[in-house]
Amino acid sequence: MPGFVNRIVDSWQEFTQFLTDVRGEMRKVVTPSWKEVKATTSVVIVAVFIFGVYFFVVDWIFALGLDRLLKQLGGLQQ
């Protein structure tokens, strides 16, 4: 029975140490200013737009190439 009690006490001490560490890390967290939020949001929106256009063009080129390849092989009838 003493081993069981020691494990419970050790687990409780580990848990309280964990909570202490979490509290210490949460004190390091900094909330961004409204100006920073707007700037990063606009960067993300622009990046998503650029990547969307890029992937659209790449997909269109591959589709065009595949279409021509299938026509050459006689697999696509139009």
8 and 46 within one domain? no
49 and 64 within one domain? yes
- Would you say 67 and 76 are in contact if contact means Cβ atoms under 8 Å apart? yes
Structure confidence by residue, pLDDT tens digits, 3-59: 888 888 899 999 999 999 999 999 999 999 999 999 999 999 999 999 999 999 999
Predicted local confidence at residue 17, as pLDDT: 96
pLDDT for residue 75 is more than 80 = no
37 and 17 within one domain? no
Q: How many domains does the chain have?
A: 2
61 and 25 within one domain? no
Structure tokens of 69?
């390849």
Q: Which domain holds residue 76?
A: 31-78
Predicted local confidence at residue 5, as pLDDT: 83
Q: Which residues contact 70 (CB under 8 A, 6 or more apart)?
A: 76
Predicted local confidence at residue 72, as pLDDT: 87
The whole-model pTM stands at 0.58
Q: Give the distance, in angstroms, between the CA of residue 49 and the centroid of all CA atoms in the same chain.
A: 17
65 and 36 within one domain? yes
